[in-house]
């Protein structure tokens, strides 16, 4: 018989959790007291805000492939997790978040820092529960970890009343392996695979779109084998980046609003569209009424809710894509599509001349975001992890970062959470101090969670922070320029001295505003042993192209 608080910690240890990201408070204090005795078995990272804690847990989970763990108190501590829960839900990130709650006898009395976090978090969690007895803590945590990591991953919240933490209960941890009525996986039907294979074999212009499901399902090798055999052109979503090498002969670029020109344009010219582990979100499809209407659609997907949700699938294959891709590869024939691939190459040249040349080798006086990423590519390691915030810098970094391996792309995709990058980079670095973690941020987003520089200072995590500063909320400004007659309403920023801020946190920092000093500054950053903050002042009114405006077809992608 041990305290409920000790049951919490020992349950996490039983699940092989190595790190917890959190912030203490009254209703979770017994758990923090218990952590004091287990510091040799589990490391707690004290962030500077609960939102920082959950984003750090997300970064940790995305890079490790394990369940991230966040810890917070009741009331405002718990509600500060909601944005991260919503972010993790839409991006399929496995998390277990544990919150303290007022004692059971005070529930419903509007006690100090009492909030119905279970009710609030229900729409943005895969599963949640409130635990009111010590004996129920271990089963809840076991169930939570199983749900978070199985099937399509997602966030779980476990709210534990204070009396459950202080009372004694029997500890006998039994890992959860199955739950009645919960089916995270489905048996793949051979007839579905065969129908998909027949469509692919008959196709003249087949086209593969792959997403994060390939990474989550650890199906990178299977995707490569499928492409090697079929020679089908393949493009990635934002979160699918890195699943295959961009040097693969079938790779044709990136999809979506600010993806590459050819992959977007030719979506409406293929005859069979093969979607693998992606959900046809609006940033990829544009106007659904004009999206790939000429094509038969094959959809390999783990979550049945995604089948026919946005795009009708002529040949849906429900199941784990690691297995379904292997079965599909066996069923299709060896092929090549050189003529079809050449059409992508032609449009790629057009984008290089119209957009990429200016982004990477500009003639203008001011620095561009693209040339900063070009220099980062020259000095980074092959397994370097890119963590980005949300905005213009995110799209530019995604477009030009040289992805070599899987699980090297960490960003907020579906929710688009500004403030995500700095704590997420910390979490990614905590998983592996030996790897380069490059945090690319804008001057708007970094100020939403800039206090996490304090966590970087305390942990000495060697995160390389690259601030691309244009003194604007750049993406909003771009839309105001293009669609609101340059009426820059509340998007220009008067920023602090970021270098002094970084140095106040004992982080080595430097600033570049001219082209001649950029290469040396990037080299110095990577040579520095420890965290580094590099501010690069870039053009104030540069725009990100190509671009598909909201409500437009993928064929209406603009180069300028």
157 lies in a domain?
A: yes
427 lies in a domain?
A: yes
Say whether both 153 and 203 belong to one domain: no
546 lies in a domain?
A: no
Angstrom distance (rounded) from CA 378 to CA 384: 12
What pLDDT is attached to residue 342?
97
What pLDDT is attached to residue 363?
79
Say whether both 391 and 315 belong to one domain: no
Record the tokens describing residue 225, joined without a space: 């084998």
543 lies in a domain?
A: no
| Other Cβ atoms closer than 10 A to 389 | 30
Say whether both 496 and 388 belong to one domain: yes
CATH number of domain containing 258: 3.40.50.1220
352 lies in a domain?
A: no
459 lies in a domain?
A: yes
Angstrom distance (rounded) from CA 155 to CA 450: 24
Angstrom distance (rounded) from CA 167 to CA 146: 25
Angstrom distance (rounded) from CA 496 to CA 338: 53
What pLDDT is attached to residue 459?
98
Per-residue pLDDT band at 392 (split at 50, 70, 90)? very high
Cα distances (angstroms) measured from residue 237 to each of 29, 234, 435: 42, 10, 24
Tell me how many domains the chain contains: 3
Residue 26: is its pLDDT beyond 90? yes
What pLDDT is attached to residue 485?
95
pLDDT averaged over every residue in the chain: 97
pLDDT tens sequence across 478-492: 999 999 999 999 999
Per-residue pLDDT band at 361 (split at 50, 70, 90)? confident
Share of the chain above pLDDT 70, in %: 100
Average pLDDT over residues 377-404: 97
Cα distances (angstroms) measured from residue 235 to each of 208, 223, 307, 377: 6, 12, 20, 21
Record the tokens describing residue 321, joined without a space: 């894509």
Say whether both 334 and 382 belong to one domain: no
Angstrom distance (rounded) from CA 153 to CA 555: 33
Average pLDDT over residues 328-350: 97
Cα distances (angstroms) measured from residue 100 to each of 54, 376, 499: 15, 42, 37
Q: Residue 450 in contact with residue 422, Cβ under 8 Å?
A: yes
Say whether both 414 and 283 belong to one domain: no
355 lies in a domain?
A: no
Residue 354: is its pLDDT beyond 90? yes
Average pLDDT over residues 247-252: 96
552 lies in a domain?
A: no
Residue 509: is its pLDDT beyond 90? yes
CATH number of domain containing 144: 3.40.50.970
Record the tokens describing residue 367, joined without a space: 């620095």
Helix (H) or strand (E) holding 157: strand 155-161
Share of the chain above pLDDT 90, in %: 98
Q: Residue 415 in contact with residue 87, Cβ under 8 Å?
A: yes
Say which residue the tokens 């229900």 belong to: 122
Query: Which residues lie closer than 8 Å to 203 by C-beta, 6 or more apart?
Result: 270, 271, 272, 296
Say whether both 275 and 162 belong to one domain: no
pLDDT tens sequence across 54-72: 999 999 999 999 999 999 9
Helices 321-331 + 220-230 axis angle, to 10:
20
Say whether both 300 and 371 belong to one domain: no
Angstrom distance (rounded) from CA 512 to CA 467: 10
Average pLDDT over residues 3-18: 98
Closest CA to 67 of 182, 155, 158: 155
Q: Taking the mean position of all CA atoms in its chain, how far away is CA 504?
A: 30
Record the tokens describing residue 256, joined without a space: 């979506």
Say whether both 46 and 163 belong to one domain: yes
Say whether both 165 and 218 belong to one domain: no
What pLDDT is attached to residue 438?
98
What pLDDT is attached to residue 261?
98
Angstrom distance (rounded) from CA 259 to CA 546: 7
Range of the domain at 396: 365-537
Please give the positions annotated as active site: 50, 112-113, 162, 475
Say whether both 320 and 390 belong to one domain: no
Q: Is 74 helix (H, G, I), strand (E, B) or coil?
A: coil
Average pLDDT over residues 236-245: 96
Among 15-29, 136-150, 273-287, 354-368, where is mean pLDDT lowest?
354-368
Say whether both 325 and 237 belong to one domain: yes
Residue 286: is its pLDDT beyond 90? yes
Angstrom distance (rounded) from CA 4 to CA 135: 7
What pLDDT is attached to residue 310?
97
Per-residue pLDDT band at 378 (split at 50, 70, 90)? very high
Record the tokens describing residue 359, joined without a space: 């982004």
Say whether both 389 and 307 belong to one domain: no
């Amino acid at each position: 018989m041990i305290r409920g608080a000790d049951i919490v910690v020992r349950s996490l240890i039983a699940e092989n959790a190595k790190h917890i990201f959190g912030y203490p408070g009254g209703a979770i204090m017994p758990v923090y007291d218990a952590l004091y005795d287990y510091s040799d078995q589990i490391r707690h990272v004290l962030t500077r805000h609960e939102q920082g804690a959950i984003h750090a847990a997300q970064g940790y989970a995305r890079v490790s492939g394990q369940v991230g763990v966040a810890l917070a108190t009741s009331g405002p501590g718990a509600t500060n997790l909601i944005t991260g829960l919503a972010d993790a839900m839409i991006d399929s990130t496995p998390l277990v978040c544990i919150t303290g709650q007022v004692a059971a006898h005070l529930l419903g009395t509007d006690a100090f820092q009492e909030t119905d976090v279970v009710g609030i978090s229900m729409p943005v969690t895969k599963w949640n529960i409130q635990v009111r007895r010590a004996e129920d803590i271990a089963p809840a945590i076991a169930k939570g970890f199983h749900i978070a990591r199985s099937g399509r991953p997602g966030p779980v919240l476990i709210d534990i009343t204070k009396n459950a933490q202080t009372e004694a209960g029997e500890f006998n941890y039994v890992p959860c392996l199955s739950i009645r009525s919960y089916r995270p996986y489905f048996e793949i039907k051979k007839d579905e695979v065969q129908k998909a294979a027949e469509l692919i074999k008959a196709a003249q212009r087949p086209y593969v779109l792959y997403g994060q499901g390939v990474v989550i399902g650890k199906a990178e090798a299977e995707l490569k084998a499928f492409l090697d055999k079929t020679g089908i052109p393949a493009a990635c979503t934002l979160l699918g980046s890195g699943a295959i090498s961009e040097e693969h002969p079938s790779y044709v670029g990136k999809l979506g609003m600010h993806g590459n020109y050819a992959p977007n344009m030719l979506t409406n010219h293929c005859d069979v569209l093969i979607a693998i582990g992606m959900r046809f979100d609006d940033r990829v499809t544009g106007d659904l009424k004009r999206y790939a209407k000429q094509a038969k659609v094959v959809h390999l997907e783990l979550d049945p809710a995604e089948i026919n949700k946005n795009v009708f699938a002529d040949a849906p294959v429900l199941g784990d894509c690691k297995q379904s891709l292997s079965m599909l590869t066996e069923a299709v024939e060896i092929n090549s599509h050189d003529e079809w691939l050449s059409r992508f190459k032609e449009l790629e040249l057009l984008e290089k001349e119209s957009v990429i040349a200016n982004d990477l080798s500009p003639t203008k006086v001011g620095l561009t975001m693209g040339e900063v990423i070009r220099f980062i590519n020259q000095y980074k390691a092959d397994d370097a992890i890119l963590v980005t915030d949300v905005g213009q810098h995110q799209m530019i970094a995604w477009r030009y970062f040289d992805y070599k391996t899987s699980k090297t792309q960490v960003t907020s995709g579906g929710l688009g959470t500004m403030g995500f990058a700095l704590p997420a980079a910390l979490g990614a670095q905590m998983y592996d101090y030996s790897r380069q973690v490059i945090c690319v941020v804008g001057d708007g987003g970094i100020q939403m969670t800039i206090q996490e520089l304090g966590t970087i200072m305390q942990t000495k995590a060697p995160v390389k922070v690259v601030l691309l500063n244009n003194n604007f909320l750049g993406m909003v400004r771009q839309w105001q320029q293009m669609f609101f007659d340059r009426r820059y309403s509340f998007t220009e920023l008067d920023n602090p001295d970021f270098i002094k801020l970084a140095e106040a946190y004992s982080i080595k920092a430097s600033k570049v505003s001219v082209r001649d000093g950029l290469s040396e500054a990037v080299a110095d950053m990577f040579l520095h042993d420890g965290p580094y903050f590099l501010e690069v002042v870039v053009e104030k009114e540069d725009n990100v192209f190509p671009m598909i405006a909201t409500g437009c077809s993928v064929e209406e992608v603009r180069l300028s």
